[in-house]
Amino acid sequence: MTSAASRLTAARTAKRDEFYTQYIDIQKEVEAYLEFDPNTFRNKVVYCNCDDPFESNFFKYFATNFNRLGLRKLITTSCGGSSIAGAQLSFSEYLEGGGKPQEPNAVALEIEEVNDLNGDGARDIEDVRFFLQQNPHKRTRLLQGGDFRSEECVNLLKLSDIVVTNPPFSLFSEYIALLTEHEKKFLIIGNTNAITYQDVFPHIMANRLWLGCTNFNVGMFFEVPDNWEKFHHINEQTGKKMARVSTSCWYTNIDHGRRHRPLSLMTMADNLRYSSGLRGKSAYDKYDNYDAIEVSTYKEIPSDYDGVMGVPVTFLDKYNPDQFEIVGTLESSDPNNPYRTRWYSAQDQKDAYFRRFGKPGNIPLNMSGVINDVKVYKRILIRHRRTAKSSEELNN
């Protein structure tokens, strides 16, 4: 990538780190866990570690619902220099020892008790200010800047049970690594592309991480700072600019009902007879380089096929770990993938290009499934659980 292109990508990524989650999206997601287990948050310490209390709806949601969820404690930490807090708040007024104007600073806020409110909760900045006046809380300046990786924040992480936030997209892999290292429960927003990251996918495969309850395919709208030029619409209620990120979803390791709902499927013969995507075929395609069949939509997963199947990542939205086992991904350069049947040489890739386009060139074939010289993208490998030896069995 050229340096100009990489600067552009970095700028875009930094901008996306300033996407703020809507209250309604947090409410919808969190409450779906309560349907499965009403005590999911009871007596738990919830930590929002990328959240300025004045700008974050995570703080507002958990503060407002503190008693209903039965929280033991709510901790939020903010990273210094947030654009919204900087623009709309005088932190010197908010922090103890204030008086002279100061730059916005990183703050830890801890709440262990919430008095009954007048019903409004803490929805906007004035509500948060009022909320903090009415409720006992501890607020501390974070001398290390509020980075979730700083010792100060990691010490708070160690005290917590469940981490809930929308962390910066650009630090997602590091973020997941920290939470799993400390064996924390979490409910966080990330980019759907992270599913196939080399340091994220193994957690999905081992059922240490899965998708949340909100449907993966819908994308999400986020509040963006006032100076954001490319926005989708203005929220009539909040007056905030909104931008859509079609590739965002919830990641969690907290159990929920949707992942235990079995997919209802047809047999292979019926799929070949009735599924529009398979019309005219007498058999499912097989990859040239993997011992697996191609299933281009979860609806066409045959109920009676015992082998390995390549399915789009959107399958994870329907993934029931009692019904299926995830055994790999086609987007991996792992030469030890047991289902790989072929590794293309440089010459193979040139030949494939020539066969397809009739001129010299190169198709990099090793990072995907391949059918008749055509790459098939973003597939994960699954098989029915009834035929699969569990990972534990394989390891013994």
Residue range at the interface with ligand SAM (CB under 6 A); choices 48-56, 86-94, 179-187, 320-328: 48-56
145 HSE (CA, 13 A, CB side): 4
Question: 187 vs 376, which CB is nearer to ligand SAM?
Answer: 187
Non-local CB neighbours of 319 within 8 Å, separated by 6+ positions:
210, 211, 259, 326, 382
Alpha helices in the chain (DSSP H): 3-16, 23-36, 57-64, 66-69, 83-88, 91-94, 125-134, 151-159, 172-181, 201-205, 268-274, 346-357, 391-395
Residue of 53, 104, 146, 369 interacting with ligand SAM (CB under 6 A)? 146
Residue of 23, 94, 148, 172 interacting with ligand SAM (CB under 6 A)? 148
Q: Does residue 13 sit in helix, strand or coil?
A: helix
332 in contact with ligand SAM (CB under 6 A): no
Tell me how far, at minimum, the Cβ of 198 lies from ligand SAM, in Å: 21
17 in contact with ligand SAM (CB under 6 A): yes
Residue nearest to ligand SAM (CB): 166
Tell me how far, at minimum, the Cβ of 20 lies from ligand SAM, in Å: 4
- Count the residues of the shown chain that bind ligand SAM, applying the rule CB under 6 A: 19
Q: For residue 387, list its beta bridge partners.
A: none
- 186: which 2 tokens? 């979490």
Residue of 30, 50, 71, 107 interacting with ligand SAM (CB under 6 A)? 50
Tell me how far, at minimum, the Cβ of 215 lies from ligand SAM, in Å: 19
Residue of 65, 104, 107, 168 interacting with ligand SAM (CB under 6 A)? 168
Alpha helices in 46-113 (DSSP H): 57-64, 66-69, 83-88, 91-94
Burial class of residue 220 in the structure, from the number of CB atoms within 10 Å of its CB (0-12 exposed, 13-18 middle, 19+ buried): buried
* CB-based contact 257:50 (threshold 8 Å): no
Tell me how far, at minimum, the Cβ of 285 lies from ligand SAM, in Å: 39
Question: 19 vs 315, which CB is nearer to ligand SAM?
Answer: 19
Non-local CB neighbours of 140 within 8 Å, separated by 6+ positions:
107, 108, 110
Residue of 40, 65, 76, 165 interacting with ligand SAM (CB under 6 A)? 165
CA pseudo-torsion sign 81, 82, 86, 89: negative
56 in contact with ligand SAM (CB under 6 A): yes
Residue of 64, 105, 160, 166 interacting with ligand SAM (CB under 6 A)? 166
Residue of 23, 58, 290, 315 interacting with ligand SAM (CB under 6 A)? 58
79 in contact with ligand SAM (CB under 6 A): yes
Q: Does residue 211 sit in helix, strand or coil?
A: strand
SS (H, E, C) 153-172: HHHHHHHCCEEEECCCHHHH
Residue of 40, 64, 65, 82 interacting with ligand SAM (CB under 6 A)? 82
Q: Does residue 192 sit in helix, strand or coil?
A: helix
Tell how strand 73-77 and strand 210-211 pair up. Answer: unpaired
Residue range at the interface with ligand SAM (CB under 6 A); choices 127-135, 161-169, 265-273, 367-375: 161-169
Question: 127 vs 331, which CB is nearer to ligand SAM?
Answer: 127
Question: 57 vs 289, which CB is nearer to ligand SAM?
Answer: 57
Q: Does residue 62 sit in helix, strand or coil?
A: helix
Question: 197 vs 339, which CB is nearer to ligand SAM?
Answer: 197
Residue range at the interface with ligand SAM (CB under 6 A); choices 12-20, 135-143, 255-263, 356-364: 12-20
Residue whose C-alpha is closest to residue 370's, from 391, 351, 395, 389: 351
Single-letter residue type at 225: P
152 in contact with ligand SAM (CB under 6 A): no
20 in contact with ligand SAM (CB under 6 A): yes
147 in contact with ligand SAM (CB under 6 A): yes
Residue range at the interface with ligand SAM (CB under 6 A); choices 112-120, 166-174, 191-199, 342-350: 166-174
Residue range at the interface with ligand SAM (CB under 6 A); choices 133-141, 142-150, 239-247, 326-334: 142-150
C-alpha triplet 211, 198, 218: angle, nearest 5°: 30
Question: 48 vs 313, which CB is nearer to ligand SAM?
Answer: 48
List contacts with ligand SAM (CB under 6 A).
17-21, 50-51, 56-58, 79, 82, 146-148, 165-166, 168, 171
